[in-house]
Amino acid sequence: MMTLDTPSSSSSSSSSLLISRKDAHIVMGYLHYERMKLAIKLARYALDHNETPVACIFIHEPTNSVIAYGLNATNHSLTGVAHAEFMGIEQIKNLVGPHHLMDFFKDVVLYVTVEPCIMCASALKQLNIKKVVFGCANERFGGNGTVLHINKDKALLNAPSLPKAESASYEAIPGILRKEAIMLLRYFYVRENKSAVTPRNKAERNLDKETFPDLIWSTYIDRETFIQEFGSAQSIHYENNSDLMSFNDDIDWSLIETPWDDIVEDLNEKCQSFNMIQRKKSKLETV
Amino acid sequence: MVKKVNNPLKIDFQKCIIEGRLQQILPKHITSEPELINIWTIDINPQDSKYFIAFIRRNIKETDPISLLHLKRIQKNPNDKSLLKLILCSVEYIADREDIIKLLESIEKKTPNGNVEKIQYTNLNKDLKVPKEPPITRELINEWSKKFWPMVWNGNPNDQILNDYIIDMDSIRGKLDIISKQSQSLAKSNEIPVVSLFVNPLDPLNHILSIDQRNSTSGCQLDHSIMNGIKKVAEDEVKRRKLEQEAKESNNYREKTYLCLNFDVYTTHEPCSMCSMALIHSRIKRLIFIKPMEVTGSLRPESGHGYCMHANKNLNSKYEVFQWIGDEYPVGSVENYTCC
Ligand SMILES: [Zn+2]
Ligand SMILES: [Zn+2]
């Protein structure tokens, strides 16, 4: 099993992966799953700390490094806008400085367990993020296709702050560890509803471990993007609105039923080692 | 609910303008095809209807997320004239058959000899489809009543909405004056002249003023005035709760501020998609803006992609929006691609 480690060790492990698996799409798919696993573990951590199980990690793509992470804090903070994405953005702001965010974000990919809401989708767009990868749809507020298509809209088309026209629009790839993300949300709602006065309906009261809504790929990406991302061998899933099989044929129960108490510490270490490399690099540049 | 003729405000119901200044911002409705929803119905004996009506008033009317006030609650059963057909609630409110049955079991009636007994009903189902919202013309209401279920004509529903707005023109003018002056002074010093003001209904005299800080030393691309205001409201509430804790003897306790629940927000420029959605998350009551943003605005149907974020029917919560259409309150200008 490949794990995401410090940038130096991860580059060697991903190149050995390239040799053992010839199909670049499999490598990409594998990377997507490995990175999303970290986000899922963090979401499970949030669940164990009485927060909505939504979490994310930010990857600096050129170095394949974790640079920031976030979990939802809307219950603990007193605002309705303390979403996981904003916590990560704040960390990156501390890393590169507030005025270099856009230049930095063009190399950043976000892995988030639940589709960003309209507010976060817009924030990520204004920061010129490279790409978003998410687990399950955000049925109520999704801003990457479910409710609105903020990532593809033309509101920033003429902004001179962006390197080139249209570069602010980004692809948002759904479906990575989707069922795991849905199950974590179900755990949360079942728990919430136990304390509710009037039971709303059965589906919310009893934990459903079997049925999942279809994944309507075309709501989020076109066929071409799908094939670019996952290869034509998988395209049957685009047609069938089904989950990708090779990595995700069954739910990874151990991933979502284990409390990952050390995950925050792990992620802090990963972020710090990227931070050190950044500092060394900028020192070299100034010498 | 005041009668239209008694409303002291001058309202143009055709153009949806209050006092010649406040333009109500609404999505463009396509109302000829109604959005249909399923509702729970039962058949009952006519003499029991009063118990059901009382029950609905007590347990359902206020809590059902779908207002069914545009529908006649009780009708003669078309198949059996001796029975009445009654609308209980929306399926969105209660989805489960068992839950409905449990709820109905709680209805009791007193018989003439003083006994309490359970009430009878038949034919519980959720097959009936009805329009989720009333149409805006009388012609449509007749058509829909025939097609789906008898409906009540209360006039153009938006007329009632306009009439029911609680508007204090003097207070609004005062707030707009504050943000307008602040905006002009920012423009003079070459700052981004976008300003917002948050008014807490629990503490209306201590408004919170916030400005756009994306160009400040510690600010980033996302530090729009609305986002800054929302954060400031939370910070102030944290401080207030701490002070309240410390001064336990004092008796000026106040209800806790929850998010920006029922706040009025005043802003110089029409907000972007991030900010307009942040206001949904924050549960504000009303936003008034001065300058429309044609490319990046997310409230007017003519702005940007016509998101009408405050009244988007795919989002389950809403806020009121007005644009001030007078020229009394000038604001600094920003480039049209700027997200505000
Ligand atoms: Zn969000
Ligand atoms: Zn904004």
Which residues, 6 or more positions from A188, have their beta carbon under 8 angstroms from its beta carbon? A47, A52, A53
Cα of B221 to nearest chain A Cα, Å:
7
| Residues of chain A with C-beta less than 8 angstroms from the C-beta of B237 | 78
- The bridge status of strand B320-324 relative to strand B286-291 is parallel
What are B139-178's pLDDT values in tens digits? Answer: 888 899 999 999 998 888 888 899 999 999 999 999 999 9
pLDDT exceeds cutoff 90 at B126 = yes
* Range with the poorest average pLDDT among B30-34, B110-114, B203-207: B30-34
A275 Cα–ligand 1 center, Å: 26
Predicted pLDDT at A28? 83
**pLDDT value, residue A7:** 41
H-helix or E-strand spanning residue B238: helix B225-246
Instruction: Work out the burial of residue A242: count CB atoms within 10 Å of its CB; fewer than 13 is exposed, 13-18 middle, 19 or more buried.
Output: middle
Structure tokens at A225: 């993007």
Q: Which residues in chain B touch residue A150, judged by CB atoms under 8 angstroms apart?
A: 273
| pLDDT > 70 in chain A, percent | 83
pLDDT for the residue B80: 85
pLDDT of residue B245: 85
Residue A12 has pLDDT above 50, yes or no: no
Q: Which residue of A lies nearest to B284 if distances are taken between CA atoms?
A: A80
Q: Tell me the average pLDDT across B215-227.
A: 95
Instruction: State residue B322's pLDDT score.
Output: 98
- Average the pLDDT over B3-28 and give the result: 91
Q: Under an 8 Å CB criterion, which residues of A touch B?
A: 77-81, 89, 93, 98-99, 101-102, 117-123, 126-127, 140-141, 143, 147-148, 150, 153-161, 198-203
Assess contact for A42 and A51: CB atoms under 8 A: no
**Residue B131 confidence (pLDDT):** 93
The mean pLDDT value of chain A amounts to: 86
In this prediction, residue B119 carries a pLDDT of 86
Task: Supply the pLDDT for residue A4.
Answer: 45
More confident residue, B34 or A40: A40
- Kindly report, residue by residue over A208-261, the tens digit of the pLDDT: 998 999 999 999 999 999 999 999 889 999 999 999 875 656 899 999 999 999
The confidence score (pLDDT) of residue A21 equals 44
pLDDT of res. B62: 85
Position A277: which residue type? Answer: I
At residue B234, does pLDDT exceed 70?
Answer: yes
Q: Shortest Cα distance from B223 to chain A (angstroms)?
A: 10
Contact A155 B277 (CB under 8 A): no
Structure confidence at residue B324 as a pLDDT band (50, 70, 90) = very high
Q: What angle do CA B282, B285, B289 make, to 5 degrees?
A: 95
Q: pLDDT: is B59 or A161 the higher one?
A: B59
- Residues of A with a catalytic annotation lie at 85
pTM: 0.83
Is a pLDDT exceeding 80 seen at residue A198?
no
Give the Å distances, CA to CA, from A259 to A76, A177, A254.
Answer: 20, 17, 10
Distance (angstroms) between ligand 2 centre and the Cα of B271 equals 5
Q: Nearest CA to A85 among A37, A52, A42, A123? A: A123
Complex ipTM over 0.85? yes
Cβ contact, residue pair A78, B218, below 8 Å: no
Residue A46's pLDDT band (boundaries 50, 70, 90)?
very high
Distance CA B287, CA B263 (A): 9
Which percentage of chain A shows pLDDT scores above 90? 66
Q: Do A79 and B233 touch (CB under 8 A)?
A: yes
- The minimal CB distance from A155 to the residues B95, B217, B305 is found for B305
- Confidence band for B3, pLDDT divided at 50, 70 and 90: confident
Residue B261 Cα, ligand 2 centroid: separation in angstroms? 19
CB environment A46-75: b (16+ within 10 A), e (fewer): bbeeebbbbbbbbbbeebbbbbbbbbbbbe
Q: Cβ–Cβ of A80/B278 closer than 8 Å?
A: yes
Q: Does B273 touch chain A (CB under 8 A)?
A: yes
The reported pLDDT for the residue numbered A59 is 98
What is the model's pLDDT at position B88? Answer: 94
Q: Which ligand is nearest to the CA of A84?
A: 1
Q: Which residues in chain B have their CB less than 8 angstroms from residue A198's CB?
A: 63
| DSSP codes joined into one string, A143-183 | TBTTS-BGGG-STTTT-TTSSSTTTT--EEE--TTHHHHHH
Q: Which of B219, B273, B314 has the CB atom closest to A98's CB atom?
A: B219
> Residue B115 has what pLDDT?
84
- pLDDT (0 to 100) of residue B29: 66
Which domains, from first to last, does chain A contain? 21-192+206-215+250-286 (3.40.140.10)
- Residue numbers in B near A201 (CB within 8 A): 94-96, 99
Q: Max Cα separation, chain A?
A: 67
* Average pLDDT over every residue of A24-52: 92
Question: Is residue B200 scored above 70 in pLDDT?
Answer: yes
pLDDT at A200 over 70: no
Contact between A201 and B273 using a beta-carbon 8 Å cutoff: no
Residues B54, B56, B62, B65: what is their CA dihedral angle, to the nearest 10 degrees?
Answer: -170
User: Is the pLDDT higher at B27 or at A116?
Assistant: A116
- Give φ, ψ of A71 to 5 degrees: -130, 160
Closest Cα in chain B, distance from residue A98 (Å): 5
Q: Is the per-residue pLDDT at B2 higher than 70?
A: no
In three-state secondary structure terms, A246 is coil
Cβ partners under 8 Å of residue A86, min gap 6: A70, A120, A123
Quick one: CA dihedral A238, A148, A89, A81, positive or negative? negative
Interface of B with A in 28-87 (CB under 8 A): 63
Determine the residue of chain B that is closest to A122 in CA distance: B274
In chain B, the percentage of residues whose pLDDT exceeds 90 is: 70
Do residues B290 and B269 touch, judged by C-beta distance below 8 A? yes
CA torsion angle B303 B304 B305 B309 (round to 10): -60
Per-residue pLDDT at A9: 41
B231, B257, B273 member nearest A118 (Cβ): B273
Contact state of A122 with B238 under an 8 Å Cβ cutoff: no
Reduced to 3 states (helix: H, G, I; strand: E, B; else coil), residue A216 is: coil
Q: What is the pLDDT of residues A120-179, one digit of tens each?
A: 999 999 999 999 999 999 999 999 999 999 999 988 877 777 766 556 899 999 999 999
What is the mean pLDDT of the segment spanning A54-64? 97
pLDDT band at A203 (very low <50, low <70, confident <90, very high): low
Where does the pLDDT of residue A60 fall: very low under 50, low under 70, confident under 90, or very high at 90 and above? Answer: very high
Res. A13: pLDDT tops 60: no
Residue with tokens 């949904």: B280
The pLDDT of residue A132 is: 98
Contact of B285 with B319, CB cutoff 8 Å: yes
For residues B268-296, average pLDDT:
98
Instruction: Say yes or no for a CB contact (<8 Å) between B221 and A101.
Output: yes
